[in-house]
Amino acid sequence: MAQVLEFKLPDLGEGLTEAEIVRWLVEVGDVVAVDQPVVEVETAKAMVEVPCPYGGVVTARFGEEGTELPVGAPLITVAVGAPASGGPTDAATLTAAQGTPAAAGGQGSGNVLVGYGTSEAPARRRRVRPDRPAPVTAPPPPASASAEPTNGRVRTGESADGPVAVISPLVRRLARENGLDLRELTGSGPDGLILRADVEYALRAAAVQGRTTTAAPASHPRVAAQPTATAVPTATSAGTRVPLKGVRGAVADKLSRSRREIPDATCWVDADATELMRARAAMNAAGGPKISLLALLARICTAALARFPELNSTVDQEAREIVRLDQVHLGFAAQTERGLVVPVVRDAHARDTEGLNAEFGRLTEAARTGTLTPGDLTGGTFTLNNYGVFGVDGSTPIINHPEAAMLGVGRIIPKPWVHDGELAVRQVVQLSLTFDHRVCDGGTAGGFLRHVADCVEQPAVLLRTL
């Protein structure tokens, strides 16, 4: 007999608590193999394909595309094991899907998800829970009824602790809309499958007894009734409301936390970038991959952080300690169709300009196509923000919590500038540094920013650290 297993949305890492369904990769009735991706979801950090740790037939999907689910919510149910009835072809297909170590030998799934994929899923057994509060269900059968289960009858001796044996999403919706707990019904279909007729029978029987079916039990939040109170119009109720979720919600939460916890300050300086632009042009004229301005600025950043390591830090508030980090993982702000993201270049301090340039190219393309992984978007220790691409000169950015500083770079434009004692038109840029005042004083922050400006104005200064 097939066993129906419920696959819940796993913890995708980095403290994420929910994900939005972008695209289903399987349909109800499809045969899936262990570790086969079944749905594409969007978290606050990236688009992720979620693999299923079970092999079998998909019996139900939870949530339409665009629905946001919390971690731990049911995602799909899969019937594992030989079907109760079916032709040889069906059985062979199901056997092939389960012909992996996880399904056949209990060795576990190859894809490691938090809470899944590390061992064989234990079989869920029914157990008696007499102290469980009774939800609104159909009345018990009359005394003259047969002992055999009939359509929509309530289970009186036991309650299934595992997933409900329901294939049709319509049956689930019908029960949910009427506040009926499917776990308390015995299905009349094959292997106890709950059919639509079972739910309708239970609802009719409840109506005969005069019971209400609009309230759901508190122990089952999935079928909780919606509030019935009428919203009172207010002066602020007009207009379009945009939910703070996904990338936008994550950005809002992180920036709000930064403002609450970090006492930040900002200093800025104008710099003559003419020589830096000439150096870049000379590099690109020599052949090879074109070096971006961002890569040159990143190399300047890593050199400045080596001289002023206080800014490559984080604050442990519970321990009341400043943690100075040995490695520089450089984040850079990138605007995409999904919103603002901050990909991270790992071990930026160990890369030369060409290496930084190549990694910037890879991460920028992944950001554009929406294929950045959570690992690409986390773990930064310092952020470089080139807001000059938006045509602005300056900004006072909010620090990317839990980092301690962010360097901002404005647009590079021709401006009158005194050079060698004479007025000339030069390529001028405004640089700004926003820093956590807990990790250093203004002298350190000013020294860092001045060193960056010196390298922009005289790139040869970098030769001392190459």
CB atoms within 10 A of CB 212: 10
Q: C-alpha angle with apex 125: 107 to 168, nearest 5 degrees?
A: 90
- C-alpha 345/C-alpha 359 separation (Å) is 7
For 9, phi and psi rounded to 5 degrees? -60, 115
Q: Tokens representing 246? A: 């996904």
- In 3D space, the residue among 172, 6, 133, 1 whose CA is nearest the CA of residue 73 turns out to be 6
Beta strands 31-32 and 56-61 are: antiparallel
Q: Percent helix, strand and coil across the chain, each rounded to 5?
A: 30, 25, 45
Catalytic residue among 349, 401, 437, 451: 437
Q: At 334, is the secondary structure helix, strand, or coil?
A: strand
As beta bridge partners, residue 113 has 116
Q: What is the DSSP string of 159-211?
A: B--S------HHHHHHHHHTT--GGGEE--SGGGPPPHHHHHHHHHHHHHTT-
Active site residue 437: yes
Contacts of 10 by beta carbon, 8 Å cutoff, 6+ apart: 50, 71, 113, 114, 115, 116
Catalytic residues: 437
